[in-house]
Amino acid sequence: MSAYVSAFELFSIGVGPSSSHTVGPMRAGRDFAARLREAGTLPSVARLDCALYGSLGATGIGHGTPDAVVAGLQGHTPESVDPATVRHAWTDWPAGSDLVLDGTHPVAFAKEHITFAPRTRLPGHPNAMTLTATDAAGATVAEETYYSVGGGFIRREGEAPQVATTPFPLQYDSADELIALCDERGITIAEAARLNEQALRSEAEVAAGLDAIWDAMSACVEAGLHADGVLPGMLKVKRRAGLIRQQLEAVQAEGHRELPGEWLGAFALAVNEENAAGGRVVTAPTNGAAGILPAIGMFWWRFLADVGLGDGNAVTPYGELVGSALLGFHAPTGEHADPIDEAARTEANRRRGIRRFLLTATALGSLFKANASISGAEGGCQAEVGSACAMAAAGLTAVMGGTNRQIENAAEIAMEHHLGLTCDPVGGLVQIPCIERNAIAASTAVTAARLAMRGDGSHYVSLDTVVETMRQTGIDMSTKYKETSEGGLAVNVIEC
């Protein structure tokens, strides 16, 4: 078994506001409908019911969970659905209307068919839901319990926890093993991830897929920077990213230098405001922490891409496996260089750097998912924002030319200083403190990368130790601090 999770699973394009409470339940609803179709029992279904337990029951309405369930039952997927379709699927359900199950079969449905049981916690995971299909006589046609285990991943009751079934060429269960594998082969962490990805798809497909992830991330940043108004929900939180963008552009127009640190915060706010509004986001590795990696990536792209890696040739070669022009370990030079103009070459080099950034983040993010948790309902916000911060710090260190040990050090620094962070969304909305928390964590990721780059990679506390500590801390943490809105800021802030 390997801890490695493909980049195309860890980074999935979906909708806000929550990977565990929106994306996961939508996938569960779709899976349930598909199973009915495949079993040939779809025509006999006359009614659908859904019970949301634990954290899904406690904060489901604020996270859009019932809307997502309805969209999934209708056959929609997080990757392709129009976010507007999900936003009011249950909230504004017209009384007396049928739900078109799997997009083909109409069944009776009312808002009351989704029930909330926040005090009932099933043993498999704090995020649990049971879907029941009955026939016209009231007999059960099918019933399935699903667990939304974080990052949009789901597991059916009775299924074993997901493990890697792909025979990845480089298998590892710890950061120490990963670095040892890289040392043996003389490759970078990003190159190790690339080799694993190529067990699933061609090198060109890997590059195109990573580009699509980045395009979605950067589009989310841009959308958030150019939006205004108030976020949905009782808190009436005002969007700020657009106003900050205007202020920073005014400073530049007056001839002053750009302020990279303030842009970094604006990038993160932009993504998480889009997420809170139910817009198109990339789960990275969760929606609640979706702003950190895009903010760091955009920060590097805009302010640092021409420093360090520059034209793609400034990194010391790590061996014959390092040389992929597609993934950017070196840009083609000499007689093999493409005859493109300077602007296109700059774009291409930045693309190569972003691929390295995402692959590095994937290799280390896989360890958090396998050995601890990326679910706020299971491990608190340390599991979401802490993991994303560590992944971003590792990726930034990689694109700035850091060694494998400096990359591991950066991830350790970032995660160590998020240990014990609680998940306490006010009003059950992914807004306060979630939006600002992403901006602060993005700044922490930059600091962690800078500290690691100033050292030689040696440090006292290993990343593996911090991951295990995060797991233990999550077990010890009170349930009220795990995405239930029953503790912390959630009970000490007046909602209206």
Token pair of 357 as six digits: 């950034």
Name the one residue in this structure whose structure tokens are 């890289």: 182
Q: Longest Cα pair distance anywhere in the chain, in angstroms? A: 75
Mean pLDDT of 236-256: 93
Considering the chain, what percentage of its residues have pLDDT values greater than 70? 91
Q: How far apart are CA 300 and CA 303, in angstroms?
A: 5
Is pLDDT at 416 greater than 70 in this prediction?
yes
Is pLDDT at 252 greater than 90 in this prediction?
no
Least trusted range by pLDDT, from 13-22, 165-174, 358-367, 428-437: 165-174
Mean pLDDT of 318-337: 41
Least trusted range by pLDDT, from 34-43, 150-159, 442-451, 468-477: 150-159
112 forms beta bridges with: none
Is pLDDT at 309 greater than 70 in this prediction?
no
What single DSSP character describes residue 455? S
Q: How far apart are CA 266 and CA 166, in angstroms?
A: 39
CA 175-176-181 angle, 5° bins: 95
Mean pLDDT of 195-218: 96
Q: How far apart are CA 385 and CA 387, in angstroms?
A: 6
pLDDT at 257: 80
107 forms beta bridges with: 99
pLDDT at 150: 87
77 with 31: CB under 8 angstroms? no
pLDDT at 167: 81
Token pair of 9 as six digits: 């699973």
201 with 190: CB under 8 angstroms? no
Mean of the per-residue pLDDT values of the chain: 90
pLDDT at 86: 94
487 with 480: CB under 8 angstroms? yes
pLDDT at 316: 32
pLDDT at 339: 52
270 forms beta bridges with: none
Considering the chain, what percentage of its residues have pLDDT values greater than 90? 81
Q: Which of 336, 332, 356, 329 has its CA nearest to residue 345?
A: 332
CA end-to-end span of the chain, whole Å?
49
Mean pLDDT of 358-379: 96
Q: What's the pLDDT band for 166 if we cut at 50, 70, 90?
A: low
Higher pLDDT, 485 or 45: 45
pLDDT at 435: 97
Entry pTM? 0.87
Q: Please state, in angstroms and as integers, the Cα–Cα distance from residue 329 to each residue in 167, 319, 407, following that order.
A: 24, 11, 16
